[in-house]
Amino acid sequence: MPNTQPNSRTPRTAVAEDADSISRSLARAFDDDPMMRWFFPDEAVREASLSEYFATLFTRQYVRNAVCERTESAASFWVPPEAQAKAVPDAETIAELQRILGDRAELFRDAVTAAGAHTPREPHWYLALIGADPAAQGTGQGAALLRSGLAKADAAGLPAYLESSKKENLPFYEHFGFAVRQEVRLPGGGPMLWAMWRDPRPTTP
């Protein structure tokens, strides 16, 4: 019989029921991310805290108002321009994030404010988050998700924007046409954030 299971590298729409799987993959993906280590400095509980953090963002914010896709071990959250006013945390989500972050909640708030001050004004597709479980490194799952989102942005004739706090990831994004637009030092002794921009590319008729 033919194999009817989806390819592990094929992006598909993520739904709320995927929260546990997605949050575990993202927690592992961001374990060595400078910004996440700054928000969650305690190594003993970092993976559990990150999993809860990503599950909250996904279920309460992005799955409702963004283009969320996943593969077997990776996920991406894209926000098109028409959704950017809605894809922000409400009061209950903010309260939940504050609980998860504990005494780092103020640093988180200041970092979000600082990053937001540099968000481009022109319409664009915003890559809010992308990550793959390190165990799946080299399988192309992150690249497949990035291509999928960029194809949607290109089809709309719009640029794409992201922020990365991990310098080692910049060549990966540059390979797909992004270029560093600005370097932002997060307040409170936080890490550097690289703001990256990609102009739209013509789509094949």
* Structural domain includes residue 144: yes
Q: What's 184's domain CATH number?
A: 3.40.630.30
118: CB partners within 8 A, 6+ apart = 182, 184, 195
* Structural domain includes residue 140: yes
Range of the domain at 136: 12-198
Total-model pTM: 0.92
Determine the pLDDT at residue 7: 65
pLDDT in tens, 143-168: 999 999 999 999 999 999 999 999 99
State how many domains the chain has: 1
pLDDT in tens, 33-87: 999 999 999 999 999 999 999 999 999 999 999 999 999 999 999 999 999 888 7
Rounded to the nearest angstrom, the gap between the alpha carbon of residue 14 and the centroid of all alpha carbons in its chain is 13
Report the percent of the chain where pLDDT is more than 70.
96
**Cβ-contact 66, 87 below 8 angstroms:** yes
Which tokens hold the place of 11? Answer: 């992006």
* Structural domain includes residue 204: no
- Mean per-residue pLDDT over the chain, rounded: 93
- Can you tell me the distance from the alpha carbon of 202 to that of 155, in angstroms, rounded to the nearest whole number? 8
